[in-house]
Amino acid sequence: MCFIMYLILFCFVLGLVAVASNPSPYFAALGLVVVAGMGCGVLVGHGGPFLSLVLFLIYLGGMLVVFAYSAALAAEPYPEAWGSWPVVVHMVVYMVGVVLAFVVFGGVWYEFSWVSVDELGEFSVFRGDVGGVALMYSSGGWMLIISGWVLLLTLFVVLELTRGLSRGALRAV
Amino acid sequence: MTPSHFAFTSAFMLGLTGLALHRYHLLSALLCLEGMMLSLFIALSLWTLQLDSTCFSASPMLLLAFSACEASAGLALLVATARTHGTDHLQSLNLLQC
């Protein structure tokens, strides 16, 4: 189990290396999908299934879908994948940097030196993160109202940015 | 540093480096910003789960809501850039160039 967690964490960092090496946005969005999937695996392994499902639904299913079709604005005839030369140089430099940082900061941690501990009381399906998020509706009610207000303001910000002033909002792009 | 802490710390640093050293597209900078937000979500959730402070698990949810706001504002800027400049290439954003 700890080996699977190690593998998931490694793929997490590897996916973000693939995003940070700045290929064409199609491939960077694909790397971000992989990173989000691995992040969900990390959260499930530590005993937080609700936060993992929230990440899947809202982040992958909401935000990354919007990024995926916005990548059509960055369309080019020959997109740079992970095989082209500047992208490969960036990836190699980032991987070497991560390995060096692990050598410096890793300390005494190796593959079998840590285990995931998960607790549940007599096969209950109630998890800690479910109860904690429910607090957002009771004690944290004001934060919920403020967040809703912020989301409404962001809607107005986006509508104003894409209004197009005198040229109109319905254009080819 | 434990492996999970090292993973999201290095993920954040990698996203920050990719944001600072972006090359052609504005959208790749926005995607690196999204990667940083994702690593922060994982960091806050792992804090909640590893320290058993379940009251704190509302904070990754709120971070996700505000990160959605920021992503939509960034994408609206991308659309506005593509409408006025024709592309989202950063070389075409040279109005302030002397």
- What is the tally of structural domains in chain B? 1
Q: Which residues of A141-172 are buried (b: 16+ CB within 10 A; e: fewer)?
A: eebbeebeeeeeebeeebeebeeeeeeeeeee
Q: Which residues of B touch A50 (CB under 8 A)?
A: 57
Q: In this structure, is residue B90 part of a structural domain?
A: yes
**CATH at residue B71:** 1.10.287.3510
The predicted pLDDT at position B15 comes to: 95
Q: Which two tokens stand for residue B69?
A: 């706001």
Residue B13 covered by a domain: no
* Structural domain contains residue B81: yes
Predicted confidence (pLDDT) per residue in A53-96, tens digit: 999 999 999 999 999 888 877 777 777 787 788 899 999 999 99
Residues of B in contact with A40 (CB under 8 A): none
| B-chain residue closest to A163, CA distance | B80
Tens-place pLDDT, residues B25-83: 889 999 999 999 999 999 999 999 888 888 899 999 999 999 999 999 999 999 888 88
- Chain A positions touching B66 (Cβ under 8 A) are 147, 150
Beta bridge partners of B25: B89
Q: At A64, which amino acid appears?
A: L
- Within 8 A by CB and 6+ apart from B87, the residues are A74
**8 Å CB contact of B15 and A162:** no
Summarised one tens digit per residue, pLDDT across range A99-122 is: 999 988 877 776 556 666 666 666
Residue A172 identity (one-letter amino acid): A
Give ∠ CA A157-A160-A166 in degrees, rounded to 5: 170
Three-class SS string for A145-168?
A: HHHHHHHHHHHHHHHHHCCCHHHC
Nearest CB to A70; choose among B27, B46, B57: B27
Name the residue among B58, B68, B71 with its Cβ closest to that of A132: B58
Contact flag A46-B15 (C-beta cutoff 8 Å): no
Is any Cβ of chain A less than 8 angstroms from the Cβ of B78? yes
Note whether residue B15 is domain-resident. Answer: no
Compute how many other C-beta atoms are within 10 angstroms of the C-beta atom of residue A14.
Answer: 19
Helix H segments across chain B? 3-20, 26-50, 58-85
How far is it, in rounded angstroms, from Cα A133 to Cα B57?
A: 6
Residue A131: the pLDDT is 86
* Residue B1 reports pLDDT greater than 90: no
> Residue B40 belongs to what domain range?
3-8+25-94
Residue B18 lies in a domain: no
